[in-house]
Amino acid sequence: MSHVQQRMWFFDRLEGPSPTYNVPLVVRVGGLLDASVVELAWVDVVGRHQVLRTVFREVGGEPRQVVLPVVDAGVVVGVVDAVSGEVGAVVRGLAELPFDLDVDPLVRASLVRVSAVEHVLVLVMHHTVCDGWSLGPLLRDLEVAYRARVAGAAPEWEPLPVQYADYTLWQRELLGDEGDAESVVSRQLAYWREALDGLPEELALPYDRPRSAVTTYHGAQIDYDLTPEIHAGLAEIARQSKATLFMVVQAAVAALLSRLGAGSDIPLGTSIAGRTDKALNDLVGCFINTLVLRTDVSGRPTFRELVHRVRDSCLSAYAHQDVPFERIVEEINPRRVRGRHPLFQVGVELFAGSLALDLDELTTEVEQRKMEVAKFDLSVVLRERMSPEGTRQGISGTLEYATDLFDETTATAFAERLVRFLGDLVADPDRDVTAVDILTPAERELLAGWTDTTHELPDAPVTTVFEERARQTPDAIALVSGEISVTYAELNTRVNRLAHHLIGMGVGPDALVAIALPRTVEAVIAWLAACKAGGVYTPIDPQLPPERIRTVLQDAEPAVLITDDALVERIGHPSFLPPLVTGHPRADAPDHDPTDADRRAPLRPDHAAYIIYTSGSTGTPKGVTVLHRALTNLLNFHSGITFPPPRRPEERRRVVLSASLAFDTSWEGVLAMIAGHELHLLDEETRRDPAHMVRYIAEHGIDQLDVTPSVAQQLLTEGLLADGTAPRTLMLGGEAVPEALWSELRAADSTRVFNYYGPSEFCVEASGCALSESPRATIGRPVHNTRVYVLDEHLNPVPPGVLGEIHLAGANLGRGYLGRAALTAERFVADPFGAPGTRMYRSGDLGRWTADGYLLYVGRSDDQVKLRGLRIEPGEIHQVIANQPTVADVAVVVREDVVGDKRLVAYVVPAVGGLVDVGVLRGEVGRVLPDYMVPSAFVVLGALPLTRNGKLDRRALPVPDYGALSAGRVPRSERERGVAALFAEVLRVESVSLDDNFFDLGGHSLLATRLVNRIRTTLDAEVNLMRLFADPTVAGVAAALEDKPKSGAARPRLVSRTEG
């Protein structure tokens, strides 16, 4: 067998018979056609080409090709009657009928008879015996044979110089011995090792769905057309660049994929004829080889420059085309993933001219039947149309796509985008490819509409709204802290006294007021007082380590520190300590609402309201400055959506503030109070204990709370949504919502749940929605007066569905980082889509727009999960594990406990009363996900550690004991020892442990079939090949072994016979 035949035979063994590798050819014939003559001519053609009467037999676990005599090959042309409306379905059924490589002849001929003068000839070959190039010689031979048989004679043609079996031997002789460093195969493998070093194993395409662990090859096609003008333009670029038309097309496809988020290193697959000897030109058979063409789209090349890059890489690849693709895959040994083609996922093909069959007085139309299969994720197939005089008449295009991954609308949009992209490149090949507009006018209008969130925004700060509420409902309870309840009038009076005191200490607009107080009424008073004075409040968690507090104070250089004596003692009276406020202002201090007449300077919307310190990449916290305008906008948004101001007492809500007061999301609760609702400030013990918090919510009739998804999961476990006590409103934010949690909360009957997204640099929230709006986890739509852009690395908007970095602009935008001009300039950049002088924030978050205008959060651009070159979305792994009934909560992280050795680790919390069996859990996850997404370790915890802000505390996660989980376990049973010995034998290694992975040790597809055969013959047991791929360890294979069933009489073996 040739190498390509071996590969297809292996796929047939792995996945069973399917039409994936059928090669159908359909000829519509008009006129009087004699079916018996057609059959005689077909017999002649099959007799001429041995490969068309070849079957495969498995001998010792390895395939062998057997050429049958013509009389035994079952060569017939079956006649099928069909009415005109049924022809398409009949032809499709014939084309998609699978072959059995062990039994069936690998060619079929059928004649669909519609009427006496209308027929459809359907020829179907398996790809192991025929490639696209072979269709030309096949039709020429059929034409000669038909004409001869019509005349009552046998065809006269030149004998073929060789047969396909000769080619298979010649191919191996040509390649030589890999043990010889100067052989063709050794030199070419060395080239491919270097050429494909560091190749991305998977392109980030705009998938509609994640890849399944099950391979189906389900596909569909979208047809499109390139005009003669585009055709001629592409050809002219090729001529000027001394390149081929294919190279130009390859460059364009790579550039478009790069623009659609696939990166700058684009591997594309293409088939090459493989007929490197003229003796093969008229032979039917499978000679094609697959090449991986790597395209470097980095920088900002013009299209002409990119074509030159492609030309150089293609010529190098063509010079090393002899080594079979299958051998290259074995040599590179990429991570095997079911459902994903190795080394590339996008194919490109260009064919010249069209097929024809001339049957004299009969009219004929030849077409290659399209199969509803997809070998790759995407395939761009182009066929030139040429006039008899050689004039370019356009290009017919087909986009084949995997329907498991893409919707029809996505595939159609890609095809249409490719046509426009090619037209733009032809019009200006010297244009930077990153500057070509890939958005349609309709998409541009959609994106503009999704970010058109303009609402009226008053200039007054939120404290003015609070003052108005105090005047309207002075006796209503504003704030509850433990046993203390404070009315709006009391609270406003105390806030005013402290505000005047701060003004007297020199606090005014943009002066920093640090606040380090316990979770008491005094902390909220200090917040509001700092804002009323015009100062910039900077909250500091008093429970932070003293060194951290000193670092923040030294960086912020506040004008005043509002704290208590205990904290001053803890931090040790440093020299940089500012003036302190540690008690209450005098009772006779002014208590009226401060105005600009009282303040040091007028308070404006663009003055800073607060500074929140967040972790810095350098290890030093950085202060994010947020403006009064942003707080006003946030209040106005929530007043219209989440917590409308009450018009009657019964409309007032009881709202819990459980977040850390040093975290900006605490403003959600304070703003709810400002809007007119009763705020309950939970103490440290209650807010940190889910059971205590749920009890407090039930006992106090809490209507609304705002927590992170991690905390929400814990609260659900404690019965948050119990009948009669569930809050009316639950707000989520701060981290991504797992799909399982989204679905559970979305189904809540009595609680309306919202999810909000926004970094600290954008005043708490940039987007959000009610969970009822979307069946999948989303971060919603932009909030009021906010523009959200999803942009590529060159700041171009990307189409819906395409991954990009989220950029934020509008009223909630922060001023920047305190005292860090360079970092501010890097992250707060000019907004090219807004009014002159406006800025936007580069969030570093990756996301994409859905077709209906919702944002999906995907991950971080600077903290991307990448293992062995594979991009992984931990959210998908999280969802699978969280869906297991024994699991209550889970966190999936990437650890690098040994330098250079990154591993996925899952930390799981058992369900109440449950027990997590790690082995069973690993098996369930492996059953659903590709192997590279199965965590290397599962660590069972009583609860996930959380930070003070309620987010997952990654630093507190324990280091897994990898050795105890897998490494070096010795086979225990006789069966495990037998499997381990066969692993070592087939892989030619000295020894194998119980958990060693077959493919990690150098195994590949053909060795896998050899292993299965050795298990069958040596251990007298059976193991399914797919089961081997599902768990390719000694333990997994041994557990899957089944005793070989006893059989009755031996089945007769088909033996090849010499042709006479």
Answer yes or no: do 94 and 139 share one domain: yes
Q: Is 1007 part of any domain? A: yes
Once rounded to an integer, what is the mean pLDDT over residues 808-814?
98
Of 248-262, 493-507, 911-925, 960-974, the least confident: 960-974
User: Final residue of a domain: which of 403, 438, 473?
Assistant: 438
Tally of CB atoms within 10 A around 414: 23
- Percent helix, strand, coil in the chain, to 5, is 35, 25, 40
Query: 10 Å Cβ neighbour count for 58?
Result: 14
Q: Is the pLDDT of residue 1059 over 70?
A: no
Got the DSSP string for 344-411?
A: -SEEEEEE-S-----BTTBEEEEEPPPPSB-SSSEEEEEEEEE-TT--EEEEEEEEEEETTT--HHHH
Amino acid 533: pLDDT: 97
At 1002 the pLDDT is 61
Q: For residue range 571-606, what is the model confidence (pLDDT) as tens digits? A: 888 888 898 888 888 778 899 999 999 999 999 999
Look at residue 529 in the predicted model and tell me its pLDDT: 97
Instruction: Provide the CATH number for the domain around residue 994.
Output: 1.10.1200.10
State how far the Cα of 562 lies from the Cα of 577, in Å rounded to an integer: 11
Which one has a higher pLDDT value, 864 or 536? Answer: 536
- Residue 155 scores a pLDDT above 50: yes
Mean pLDDT in residue range 643-658? 96
Q: Look at 93-102, 120-129, 333-342, 1029-1038 and tell me which has the smallest mean pLDDT.
A: 333-342
Distance of alpha carbon 216 from the chain centroid: 19
Same domain, 415 and 349: yes
CATH for 884: 3.30.300.30
The tokens of 688 are what? Answer: 């940190």
52 token code pair: 């068309």
Answer yes or no: do 28 and 141 share one domain.
Answer: yes
Find all residues with CB under 8 Å of 243, minimum gap 6, and list them: 237, 307, 308, 310, 311, 314
Would you say residue 813 lies in a domain? no
Q: 15-24, 430-439, 939-948: which has the highest mean pLDDT?
A: 430-439
CA dihedral of 455, 459, 464, 466, whole degrees rounded to 10 = 20
How much is the pLDDT for 898?
60
pLDDT at 974 over 60: yes
DSSP alpha helices (H): ranges in 154-244?
Answer: 164-175, 184-195, 228-240
Question: What phi and psi values does residue 486 have, to the nearest 5 degrees?
Answer: -125, 130
**Alpha carbon separation from 1022 to 163, 602, 1014, 1045 (Å, rounded):** 37, 84, 10, 9
Q: What is the CATH number of the domain that holds 107?
A: 3.30.559.10
pLDDT at 653: 97
Q: Do 11 and 77 fall into the same domain? A: yes
State whether 924 and 992 are in the same domain: no
Indicate whether 948 pLDDT > 70: no
Same domain, 150 and 274: no
Place of tokens 């809500």: 653
**How many other C-beta atoms are found inside a 10 Å radius of the C-beta of residue 621?**
17
For the stretch 219-278, pLDDT in tens is 999 999 999 999 999 999 999 999 999 999 999 999 999 999 999 999 999 999 988 889
Candidate from 233-237, 750-754, 1047-1051 with smallest mean pLDDT: 1047-1051
d(CA 253, CA 295): 10
Backbone angles phi, psi at 101, to 5 degrees: -65, -20
In a domain, 292, yes or no: yes
Q: How sure is the predictor about 1047, in pLDDT bands with cuts at 50, 70 and 90?
A: very low
Most confident of 81-90, 895-904, 983-992: 81-90
Q: Is the pLDDT of residue 788 over 50?
A: yes
Asked whether residue 849 is assigned to any structural domain, the reply reads no
> Which position has the higher pLDDT, 706 or 1027?
706
Q: What DSSP state is assigned to residue 260?
A: I
Range of the domain at 923: 873-940
Contact assessment for residue 106 and residue 72, using Cβ atoms and an 8 Å cutoff? no
432 shares a domain with 286: yes
What is the rounded distance in angstroms from the CA atom of residue 796 to the CA atom of residue 397?
27
Residue 864, pLDDT > 60, answer: no
Is residue 738 classed exposed, middle or buried when 0-12, 13-18 and 19+ CB atoms within 10 A define those classes? buried
pLDDT at 1054: 31
What is the per-residue pLDDT for 112?
96
Q: Is residue 922 part of a domain?
A: yes
If asked whether residues 288 and 430 sit together in one domain, one would say yes
Q: Which pLDDT band, with edges at 50, 70 and 90, does 867 fall under?
A: low
Range ranked top by mean pLDDT from 445-449, 684-688, 959-963: 445-449
Burial of 1050 (C-beta count, 10 Å sphere; 0-12/13-18/19+): exposed
Name residues whose C-beta falls within 8 Å of residue 92's C-beta, 6 or more positions apart in sequence.
369
Residue owning tokens 């079952």: 74
| Distance of alpha carbon 566 from alpha carbon 648, whole angstroms | 43
Q: Count of domains in the chain?
A: 4
pLDDT score, position 1057: 33
Final residue in a domain of this structure, among 388, 409, 438? 438
Lowest mean pLDDT among 181-195, 722-736, 1006-1020: 1006-1020
> 266 and 400, same structural domain?
yes
Location of structure tokens 């005191």: 501
pLDDT attached to residue 478: 99
* Cβ contact 230:422 at 8 Å: yes
In a domain, 100, yes or no: yes
- Same domain (yes/no): 260, 118: no
**Residues in CB range of 262: below 8 A, 6 or more apart:** 203, 204, 205
| Angle of the 739-746 helix axis to the 874-882 helix axis, nearest 10 | 50
| 935 and 979 inside one domain | no
Amino acid at 424: D
Q: Taking Cα atoms as reference points, which of 646, 706, 647, 707 lies closest to residue 678?
A: 646
Report the alpha-carbon distance of residue 143 to residue 41 in Å, rounded. 8
700 neighbors 680 (Cβ within 8 angstroms) = yes
Quick one: 1025 and 931 in the same domain? no
Q: Confidence class of residue 1052 from pLDDT cuts 50, 70 and 90?
A: very low
CATH number at residue 282: 3.30.559.30
> How confident is the prediction for the chain on average, in pLDDT?
90
**Percent of the residues in the chain that have a pLDDT greater than 70, as a whole number:** 94
Distance of CA 679 to the CA centre of its chain: 41
Give the whole-angstrom CA distance, residue 44 versus residue 154. Answer: 8
State the pLDDT confidence band at 778, using cuts at 50, 70 and 90.
very high
pLDDT confidence tier of residue 1042, bands split at 50, 70 and 90: confident
Rounded-to-integer distance, Cα 556 and Cα 530, Å: 15
Q: What is the pLDDT of residue 1045?
A: 53
Q: Identify whether 621 is part of a domain.
A: no
Please tell me the distance from the alpha carbon of residue 392 to that of residue 395, in angstroms, as a whole number: 8
Note whether residue 791 is domain-resident: no
